[in-house]
């Protein structure tokens, strides 16, 4: 039964024409993410008095206004003579799809699964000639009995999840108040700061090796059907988890604790022998590199966490391993990686999410401050990093409208379907009494 | 030959011939005055007394004079004034940059890359800018031209233009006596003029007309019709609405000759208020001096050169023949031949006559003399049908770049808006502050049929730079240099 019906698809164009012959080159961190794309879905309540299509129209007009500040989004991909991707700002615009769904947004959120949620985003694979291919897609679905879902899809070449969230916030500010509170910043990645380099600094070999290993690997195989579940962990249970790992609460962050927990559980579910399964963590390096929140582009870096020799129940060891890696990812280390990538000039982009279990730290992503209307915070924010190949993905997200220092988290887990079932029944997870916000697809009874 | 005369000789000649009556009058008056002064005052008195002024004679003479004067004033055609006009300003969200147009074209014509290439070449050389607008239905992928969308576009364009006009002229809907709407390609039932009557609740005894199918020159045909009606109806005003509705006419096929209009036609419309009331004499902006219409439809080639037809796949579109520019040139020549004697100063007409006689009698090798229309007009509004049309006219009439600037800039900013483009051009000239009292304007429009229509206006009062108008937010950026080819 088609619950979401398509209304129309069009191109949204910025209100101010772009200056001709402008190019936006992409950084090495951007180019390495070529194989991936993102989906973000935000759900809102909407006032009942509005006529159908009215809010969509307002959103579209605000979008056009907002695009005037993001010429990189309305441009198109082109290869430079050296064979690198760049964006030619030719004012072509962004695609927008409008749709309608039956029922209300609350009903929808009650029985949600991965397949249903992905109906709320629109995505087109890169064309053979990407010069005619829109890099960003927006889908606005109005629920007949109240509520609206806004889905943003974009290529990972241009934006990572924090950046895409910044875009949603900019759009929301434009819809609500007619101007952007924090305008975006477009500039290349910072270079190494001369004063801060330690003398005789050892290059961060492990990080570089990790990326090298990905580049050298063959393309992954897409065969297992993946499922995604969303779990919500309350503050007290996360604290309990942390104290379970070490006696001092302050020595572990929620991310480290939850990442360690899931690492151990997923390894158990997969039946990995001789240690924990291969895992990479993915962290936002904006603060580390001293970049502002409004920086547009990719700034998330992956790093391998070594699970060899850690037994299945040793949560403490797992957390320690993660902490070590996080500490080592400092400005100098990232600089080493950036310089190596620039020197390497690889033509064949790697599958960054294609092999190991990936654990992504999106705790600072501020999607709940994207208000399109007065006092209407998003009911939920879902993130997907596609395509879902590899061992699995764990995204650790913040909670809506919580106090800043709360330890409650929402975790989105993507694994092969049978493994997800086992994970939900695992004792360690059950101990923390998570609320299942999105579960497995219910079989028709 | 006249080109070889030194400039000052030509100027002197023009001054002499144009003011010949003054030059003849002055010596005669001088001679008479000298004669009178030669006679002494008593002699003047005796001459005066010798004229026997009979009472009956005086009465009959004054009666005759009054009769002649009355007949003259009664048979003089009423003066028609243009009180004000307003152009539709499309919302900035409906603009279509080049690259978006090309992408949509590529997505829709997936199987005809040659047609897409053709459209790209046309667009590169078209002279259009990145801010021209298409209606919402054409922004969809694929375009969704329903009748409802077409009506929606018509309402948006026409009502917006009329609202602005009413705001500018402070006219009440119930005071409108005549309504003429022209829109060539969209003609629903009830008509667009009925739509206007319905929206503004116009009087039940209004004289309303709806002209359709008459092409891009229909704007001036409507003005001509309004003028004729205002001769018959005293103390009246006429609302003329000129527009072209793009939604139902976007060609969805792949024939090259029929894809050309898609590249050039854009959303636009204008509303004009004409009046013959004495009270509007002082506040009207322009006075209508002449309207000259030329129809070349009797010639088969001219008739078929802009032809609406179905392509081999059954999709309807407008076929533009390759001879379009030649036929336009012929139509223009006919029109100029008629309008020349009405507007050109005596000096130009005399020169033209001399050269014509010379070519016939003495030497056919003499180049035909093209009268200098810059003597007759201060401003030119050439229908922005396309870059080729403007180039051709500039060459034929020997106009400078400044004369055709209004046309080129309108084509750049608004595209080819069909019958309303002349009004955007006039608005450009006003926005630039170039319009002065007494200036004469020549509006030329071409259209299917093949027709060439001209209107001549005279500026009636001082015009301040308008603060409401389609150019208000962008006039400072103009004029722009438009390159021959915009590399996409």
What was the ipTM of the complex prediction?
0.87
Distance from CA of B235 to the nearest CA of A (A): 45
pLDDT band at B199 (very low <50, low <70, confident <90, very high): very high
Q: Which tokens belong to B306?
A: 């802009």
CA angle A163, A165, A171 (to 5 degrees): 110
As a whole-number percent, the residues of chain B with pLDDT over 70 amount to 99
Comparing A27-36, A44-53, B248-257, B339-348, the range with the smallest average pLDDT is: A44-53
Most B CBs within 10 Å: which of A6, A88, A89, A132, as the mutation test of the B interface? A132
pLDDT at A240: 85
| Distance, CA of A34 to CA of A32 (rounded, Å) | 6
pLDDT tens sequence for chain A (445 residues): 458 999 999 999 999 988 888 899 999 899 989 989 999 999 998 876 678 888 899 999 999 999 999 999 999 999 988 888 999 999 999 999 999 999 889 999 988 889 899 999 999 999 888 888 999 999 999 998 889 999 999 999 999 999 999 999 999 999 988 888 888 888 888 877 666 555 555 667 888 888 888 888 887 877 788 899 999 988 888 888 888 877 555 567 888 889 989 998 998 888 887 788 888 999 999 988 888 888 999 999 998 888 887 776 778 888 888 888 888 888 888 888 888 888 887 777 888 888 888 999 998 888 888 888 888 889 999 999 988 888 889 999 988 765 566 888 899 999 988 889 899 888 888 888 888 888 887 665 4
Over range B298-321, report the average pLDDT. Answer: 93
Q: How high does pLDDT run on average in chain B?
A: 91
My answer on whether omega of the bond before B312 falls inside 30° of 0, hence cis, is: no
Q: Positive or negative, the Cα torsion across A207, A286, A409, A101?
A: negative
**Interface contacts A/B by beta carbons within 8 Å:** 53
Contacts of B141 (CB under 8 A, 6+ apart): A9, A10, A11, A95, B104, B107, B108
CA angle B466, B472, B476 (to 5 degrees): 110
pLDDT at A354: 80
What kind and span of H or E run contains A88? strand A85-89
Name the burial class of residue A133, with classes exposed (0-12), middle (13-18) and buried (19+) by CB atoms within 10 angstroms of its CB.
middle
Q: Which tokens belong to A363?
A: 């705790």
pLDDT band at B437 (very low <50, low <70, confident <90, very high): very high
Residue of B nearest to A19 (CA): B130
Per-residue pLDDT of B139-190, as tens digits, reads 998 898 999 999 999 999 999 999 999 999 999 999 999 999 999 999 999 9
Q: Which tokens belong to B457?
A: 């206006």
pLDDT surpasses 60 at B97: yes
| Distance, CA of A74 to CA of B172 (rounded, Å) | 45
Residues of A in contact with B488 (CB under 8 A): 90
Say yes or no: A21 contacts chain B, CB-CB below 8 A: no
| Distance, CA of B420 to CA of B424 (rounded, Å) | 7
Cβ-contact A31, A157 below 8 angstroms: yes
Helix B324-343 and helix B346-361: axis angle, to 10°? Answer: 120
Say yes or no: B131 contacts chain A, CB-CB below 8 A: yes
pLDDT at A445: 47
Q: Are B97 and A64 inside 8 Å of each other by CB?
A: no
Over range B410-424, report the average pLDDT. Answer: 95
| Distance, CA of A442 to CA of A383 (rounded, Å) | 21
Say yes or no: B106 contacts chain A, CB-CB below 8 A: yes
Phi and psi (nearest 5°) for B255? -70, 130
Other beta carbons within 10 angstroms of residue B382's beta carbon come to 28
**Which of A387, A391, A377 has its CA nearest to residue A305?**
A391
Phi and psi (nearest 5°) for B350? -65, -45
Say yes or no: B107 contacts chain A, CB-CB below 8 A: yes
Cβ-contact B355, B383 below 8 angstroms: no
Say yes or no: B366 contacts chain A, CB-CB below 8 A: no
Cβ-contact A353, A390 below 8 angstroms: yes
pLDDT band at B356 (very low <50, low <70, confident <90, very high): confident
Over range B27-42, report the average pLDDT. Answer: 84
**Which of A186, A161, A204, A153 has its CA nearest to residue A300?**
A161
Distance from CA of B98 to the nearest CA of A (A): 8
Q: B366: which DSSP letter?
A: S
Q: Are B99 and A17 inside 8 Å of each other by CB?
A: no
Model's pTM, two decimal places? 0.89
Say yes or no: B378 contacts chain A, CB-CB below 8 A: no
Over range B83-93, report the average pLDDT. Answer: 95
pLDDT at A318: 86
| Distance, CA of A376 to CA of A388 (rounded, Å) | 32
pLDDT at B4: 59
Distance from CA of B12 to the nearest CA of A (A): 50
């Amino acid at each position: 039964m088609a619950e979401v019906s398509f209304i129309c698809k069009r191109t949204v164009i910025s209100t101010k024409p772009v200056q001709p012959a402008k190019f936006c080159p992409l950084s090495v961190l951007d180019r390495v993410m070529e194989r991936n794309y993102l989906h973000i879905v935000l759900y809102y309540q909407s006032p009942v008095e509005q006529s159908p299509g009215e809010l969509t129209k307002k959103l579209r007009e605000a979008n056009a206004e907002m695009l005037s500040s993001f010429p990189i989004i309305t441009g198109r991909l082109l290869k430079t003579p050296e064979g690198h991707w760049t964006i030619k700002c030719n004012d072509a615009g962004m695609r927008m799809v409008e749709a309608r769904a039956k029922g209300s947004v609350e009903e929808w959120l009650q029985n949600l699964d991965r397949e249903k949620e992905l109906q709320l985003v629109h995505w087109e694979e890169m064309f053979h000639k990407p010069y005619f291919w829109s890099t960003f897609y927006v889908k606005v679905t109005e629920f007949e009995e109240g509520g609206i879902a806004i889905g943003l899809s974009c290529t990972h070449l241009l934006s990572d999840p924090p950046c895409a969230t910044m875009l949603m916030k900019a759009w929301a500010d434009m819809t609500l108040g007619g101007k952007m509170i924090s305008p975006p910043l477009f500039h290349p990645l910072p270079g190494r700061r001369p004063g801060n380099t330690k003398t005789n600094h050892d290059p961060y070999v492990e990080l570089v090796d990790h990326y090298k290993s990905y580049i050298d690997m063959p393309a992954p195989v897409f065969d297992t059907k993946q499922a995604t579940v969303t779990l919500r962990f309350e503050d007290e249970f996360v604290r309990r988890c942390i104290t379970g790992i070490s006696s001092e609460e302050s020595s572990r962050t929620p991310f480290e604790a939850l990442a360690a927990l899931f690492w151990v559980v997923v390894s158990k579910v997969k039946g990995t022998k001789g240690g924990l399964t291969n895992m990479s963590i993915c962290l936002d390096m904006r603060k580390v590199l001293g970049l502002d929140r409004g920086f547009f582009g990719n700034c998330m870096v992956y790093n391998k966490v070594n699970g060899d020799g850690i037994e299945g129940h040793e949560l403490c060891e797992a957390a320690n391993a993660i902490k070590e890696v996080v500490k080592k990812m400092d400005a100098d280390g990232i600089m080493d990686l950036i310089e190596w990538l620039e020197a390497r000039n690889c033509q064949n982009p790697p599958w960054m999410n294609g092999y190991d279990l990936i654990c992504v730290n999106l705790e600072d992503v501020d999607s709940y401050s994207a208000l399109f209307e007065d006092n209407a915070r998003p009911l939920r924010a879902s993130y997907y990093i596609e395509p879902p190949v590899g061992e699995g993905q764990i995204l650790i997200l913040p909670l809506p409208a919580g106090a800043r220092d709360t330890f409650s988290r929402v975790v989105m887990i993507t694994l092969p379907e049978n493994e997800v079932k086992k994970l939900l029944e695992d004792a360690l997870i059950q101990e923390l009494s998570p609320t299942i916000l999105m579960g497995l697809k219910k079989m028709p009874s | 030959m006249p080109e070889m005369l030194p400039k000052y000789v030509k100027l002197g000649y023009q001054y002499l011939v144009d003011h010949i009556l003054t030059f003849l009058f002055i010596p005669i008056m001088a001679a008479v005055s000298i004669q009178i002064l030669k006679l002494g005052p008593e002699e003047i008195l005796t001459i005066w007394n010798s004229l026997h002024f009979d009472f009956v004679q005086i009465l009959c003479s004054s009666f005759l004079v009054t009769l002649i004067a009355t007949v003259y004033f009664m048979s003089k055609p009423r003066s028609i004034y243009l009180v004000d006009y307003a152009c539709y300003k499309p919302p900035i969200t409906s603009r279509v940059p080049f690259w978006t147009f090309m992408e949509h074209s590529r997505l829709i014509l997936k199987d005809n890359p040659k047609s897409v290439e053709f459209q790209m070449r046309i667009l590169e050389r078209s002279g259009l800018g990145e801010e021209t607008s298409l209606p919402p239905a054409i922004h969809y992928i694929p375009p969704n031209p329903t009748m409802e969308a077409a009506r929606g576009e018509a309402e948006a364009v026409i009502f917006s233009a009329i609202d602005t006009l009413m705001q500018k002229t402070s006219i009440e809907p119930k005071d409108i006596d005549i309504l003429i709407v022209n829109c060539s390609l969209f003609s629903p039932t009830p008509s667009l003029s009925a739509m206007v009557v319905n929206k503004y609740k116009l009087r039940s005894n209004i004289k309303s007309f709806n002209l359709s199918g008459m092409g891009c020159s229909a704007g001036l045909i409507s003005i001509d019709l309004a003028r004729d009606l205002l001769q018959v109806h005293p103390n009246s005003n006429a609302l003329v609405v000129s527009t072209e509705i793009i939604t139902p006419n976007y060609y969805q096929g792949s024939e090259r000759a029929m894809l050309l209009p898609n590249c050039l036609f854009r959303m636009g419309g204008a509303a004009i208020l004409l009046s013959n009331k004495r009270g509007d004499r002082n506040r009207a902006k322009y006075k209508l001096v002449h309207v000259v219409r030329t129809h070349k439809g009797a010639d088969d080639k001219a008739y078929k050169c802009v032809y609406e037809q179905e392509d081999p796949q059954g999709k309807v579109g407008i076929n533009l023949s390759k001879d379009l520019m030649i036929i336009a040139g012929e139509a223009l020549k006919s029109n100029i031949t008629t309008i020349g004697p009405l507007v050109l100063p005596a000096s130009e007409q005399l020169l033209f006559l001399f050269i014509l006689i010379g070519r016939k009698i003495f030497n056919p090798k003499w180049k035909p003399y093209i009268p200098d229309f810059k003597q007759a007009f201060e401003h030119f509004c050439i229908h922005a049908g396309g870059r080729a049309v403007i180039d051709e006219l500039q060459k034929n009439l020997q106009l400078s770049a400044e004369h055709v600037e209004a046309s080129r800039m309108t084509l750049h900013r608004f595209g080819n808006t069909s019958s309303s483009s002349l009004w955007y051009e006039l608005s450009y000239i006003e926005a630039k502050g170039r319009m002065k009292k007494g200036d004469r304007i020549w509006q030329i429009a071409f259209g299917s049929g093949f027709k060439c229509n001209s209107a001549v206006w005279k500026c009636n009062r001082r015009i301040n730079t308008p603060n409401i108008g389609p150019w208000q937010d962008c006039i400072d950026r103009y004029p722009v240099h438009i390159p021959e080819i915009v590399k996409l």
